[in-house]
Amino acid sequence: MIGAGRRVAVTGLGVVAPCGVGRDAFWKGLLGPGLVDVGRLTTIEDWDPSPWYDSPKDARRADRSEQYAIAAATEALEQSGRPDADPSRIGTIFGTGVGGIHTLEEQIVVRLDKGERRVSPFLVPMMMANAPGANVSMRFDLRGPNETLSTACAAGTHALGYAARLIAWGLADAVVAGGTEYAGTPTALASFGNMTALSSTGTSRPFDAERDGFVMGEGAAVMVLEEWESAVARGAHVIGEILGAASNADAHHITAPSPGGVGAIQCMRLALADAGLEPADIRQINAHGTSTPLNDAAEAAAVSEVFGAGAVPVVSTKGVTGHALGAAGALEAAAVLLSMEHRLIPPTANTSTVDPEMTVDVVTGEARPWEPGPTMSNNFGFGGHNGSIIIGPG
């Protein structure tokens, strides 16, 4: 993006997460406590979509993955104010892992128990992976590029990076972008459990010597991105800047990362080059850090290779949020922006003894004061998808 000549401002942020609904509640949640003995899933208790829908009927016709996206987008646009751009130049780019899988699983049960004619005619528009972004576009009359990326756990990061490029390259003047996920169905949890990806203790402890898998999460985070000069001209409060982003593939294995994090190393270096930065310029890394043995080891090795042993503070927020799959990158980018606002790096919850084979400076115990600067957020997904994005202060 650095070579395109158009800077990308972040002017709005909205968050829906198990640890807090809304920006302020989310930040408080990031400071702890973490997920300890919670089972396979952390969810948003007592979720009520009615504030964002005209009627209960409208809400019932939306899968929660869409409801979360609508709620987060509403908060983001309220903070930003309407971007001063032609609606045909305002895009909507979302990431998700699986879309409306809850609705699909529920309707499969209906068909098996009650017959084909009882299947809801709203199943298709509710289960479509592109439904959240499509409905955000319709709700706010955003008529620019409207696309949904599904690259597993890298989708949120990829969506934000792609959205920023649309602005940097002059293909859009503003984009509402982020990720959403509501994937913790009984069948999905059974599959993740049987492949030993989930924590057997119900505790997420990224980079810890005793880590044993992740806890499934859910939620959404949405940002309003704008061409910098236009945002400043209309008097918007700039809360951050997208400095660079990158995407590549391991081409190694459908679920396991490449040994030594080779793909992640290249992805981080591509993001640095895109931003015109050197490794020494990065002041924080929000890691993918899922709490699985293989992922954390590969990412730690990659970070050490690119930045040097212990050279930059590293945090994983999944010890609090759980792993929200396609929404993870958006939630973690939101955590970066809030970290800059509060001038604190939140601790990696539940991590007490960093794996001695890892040479990374993991922030543990308490939040660490810092001087905000360029921050990299990483996400790596099944299929060998790698994504890195670099965010700077506003």
| pLDDT for position 260 | 86
Q: Judge whether 150 and 65 are in contact, CB under 8 Å.
A: no
User: For residue 350, is pLDDT > 70?
Assistant: yes
What pLDDT, in 10s, does the model give residues 230-257? 999 999 999 999 999 999 999 999 999 9
Q: Which residue has the higher pLDDT, 259 or 229?
A: 229
Q: How confident is the model at residue 288 (pLDDT cuts 50, 70, 90)?
A: very high
Residue 2 lies in a domain: no
pLDDT digits (tens, 9 = 90+) for 76-110: 999 999 899 999 999 999 999 999 999 999 999 99
Residue 197 covered by a domain:
yes
Rounded Cα–Cα distance for residues 57 and 337 (Å) = 35
- Inside any domain, residue 151: yes
Task: Give the per-residue pLDDT at 53.
Answer: 98
Strands 313-315 and 284-286: parallel
Q: What is the CATH number of the domain that holds 298?
A: 3.40.47.10
How many C-beta atoms lie closer than 10 Å to residue 139's C-beta? 17
pLDDT tens digits along 172-195: 999 999 999 999 999 999 999 999
- Could you tell me what percent of the chain has a pLDDT over 90? 97
Question: 330: domain range?
Answer: 8-393
Query: Residues 276-286: pLDDT tens digits?
Result: 999 999 999 99
Continuous H helices in the chain: 23-30, 56-60, 64-80, 101-114, 123-127, 131-140, 155-168, 186-194, 228-233, 262-275, 293-307, 318-321, 328-342
User: Nearest CA to 318 among 310, 302, 305, 329?
Assistant: 329
Active site residue ranges: 153, 288, 323
Q: Which token pair is 332? A: 């973690």
The pLDDT value given to residue 5 = 80
Non-local (6+) Cβ contacts of 115 within 8 A are none
Residue 366 located in a structural domain: yes
Q: How far apart are CA 16 and CA 34, in angstroms?
A: 17
The model scores a pTM over 0.95: yes
* Closest residue by Cα to residue 334 from 181, 224, 227, 245: 224
Q: How confident is the model at residue 2 (pLDDT cuts 50, 70, 90)?
A: low
Give a yes or no: residue 53 inside a domain.
yes
The CA-based angle 92-288-373, given to 5 degrees, is: 75
pLDDT given for residue 259 in this prediction: 86
Q: Given this model, what pLDDT does residue 266 score?
A: 98
Give the pairing of strands 375-381 and 385-393: antiparallel
Residue 201 forms part of a structural domain: yes
Domain count for the chain, please give it: 1
What pLDDT digit, counting tens, does each position of 371-384 carry? Answer: 999 999 999 999 99
| Structure-token pair, residue 229 | 């000069």
Write down the pLDDT at residue 325: 98
At residue 3, does pLDDT exceed 70? no
Mean pLDDT of 114-124: 98
Query: Is residue 1 included in any domain, yes or no?
Result: no
